Amino acid sequence: MSDAAYKRVRIARNNDRPTGLDYIRHIFKGFIEFHGDRRYADDPAIVGGIARLEGSPVTVIAIEKGHTAKERTWRNFGAPNPEGYRKALRLMEQAEKFGRPVICFIDTSGAYCGIGAEERGQGQAIAENLMVMSTLCVPVISILIGEGGSGGALALAVADRVWMLQNAVYSVISPEGCASILWKDSAKAETAAASLKLTAEDARNLGVIEKILSEKEIGEKAFYERIRGLLKEELEVLARDAELVGKRYDRFRKIGAAAVMKESV
């Protein structure tokens, strides 16, 4: 089986790729970071706040992996705890109150698998985000910039538009995890990666994302300018849409429906 999909996984995980904060700093102006979930703690794996996109205020939220070894450890390698998702939710509800669009940048191997995360309700935190995001009455655009690891990524991706970088991946489980569960052999990760259909092209073919963003000149000025232009253009379309919430429901409602066989009984 082709290893093309697993190559994408390796690229998506590469430490040299721009991280969430790089996108925030280069695409927006005047970013002001807000901390904490008002419940328990501030999770450094998720960064959020307000900024301007070509002059208009927006709420921006990003999963941040960090660049240096020290920062990566501090940010838990971009694996959020429940308080990260609750901070994101707080900022999204704040955006709704003040009529600001929400833009999320996603890059995580998954929600953190830890004792404290379970004690503080990792499942409940993700579930609540999915539920509340589905009816948020401001436009939401989510961009997968690296790894899109399962529920931990989806918790910021119940959006009107979901885009993926060309080499980003989006998957229900890591290829290694899948191979180890199904075939008791994590070395079969390449086969798993190909079978899981986790590339940007796969996601678009499955109707899970709308757009694939080219990685030409990634990390350079032109790259961020291009994304800024696309965001501005799309937000203008979404802002005029009176049926936003209904369409968001339909967007997710139809996913997988074609995969379901309906026999008459």
Partner 1 sequence: MALLNFMKPMNELEEGGRTSAPVQRDAGEPEKKCPNCHKEIPLSRLWANDLVCACGYHFRMKARQRIQMIADKDSFRELFSGMHSDNPLNFPGYREKIETVRAASGEKEAIVCGTAMIGNQRCCLFVMESYFMMGSMGSAVGEKITSLFEYAVQYRLPVVGFTVSGGARMQEGLLSLMQMAKTSAAVKRHSDAGLLYIAVLTDPTTGGVTASFAMEADIILAEPGATVGFAGARVIEQTTKKPLPEGFQTAEFVLEHGFVDSIVPRSAQKQYLADILQMHDGRAV
Nearest distance, CB of residue 164 and partner 1, angstroms: 11
CB of 179 to partner 1, least distance (A): 10
- Per rule CB under 8 A, is residue 4 in the interface with partner 1? no
∠ CA 147-176-3, rounded to 5°: 80
In whole angstroms, what is the distance from residue 2 CA to residue 12 CA? 17
Q: Which is nearer to partner 1, 49 or 114 (CB)?
A: 114
The reply on whether position 36 binds partner 1 by CB under 8 A is no
From the list 231, 212, 228, the residue with the least C-alpha distance to 220 is 228
Task: Provide the mask over 65-94, with x wherever binding to partner 1 is found by CB under 8 A and - wherever it is not.
Answer: ------------------------------
Binding mask 113-152 for partner 1 (x = CB under 8 A): xxx-xxxxxxxx-xxx-xxx-xx--------------xx-
The yes or no reply on residue 253 touching partner 1 (CB under 8 A) is: yes
DSSP codes joined into one string, 39-62: SS---TTEEEEEEEETTEEEEEEE
- Within 13 Å and on the Cβ side, how many CA atoms surround 197? 9
Least distance between partner 1 and beta carbon 251 (Å): 9
Name which of 57 and 114 has its Cβ closer to partner 1.
Answer: 114
* 166 belongs to the binding site for partner 1 (CB under 8 A): no
In the window 184-243, what residues touch partner 1 (CB under 8 A)? 191, 195-198, 202-203, 206, 208
Q: Which two tokens mark 200?
A: 């940007």
If one counts every other C-beta atom within 10 angstroms of the C-beta of residue 235, the result is 21
CB of 124 to partner 1, least distance (A): 4
Does position 172 bind partner 1 by CB under 8 A?
A: yes
Residues 6 or more apart whose CB falls under 8 angstroms from that of 88 comprise 46, 48, 61, 104, 129, 155, 156
What is the C-alpha separation between 92 and 159, in angstroms, rounded? 12
User: For residue 262, what are the CA distances in angstroms to 8, 17, 259?
Assistant: 35, 44, 10
Interaction site with partner 1 (CB under 8 A): 111-115, 117-124, 126-128, 130-132, 134-135, 150-151, 154-155, 157-158, 170-173, 177-178, 181-182, 191, 195-198, 202-203, 206, 208, 248-249, 252-253, 255-265
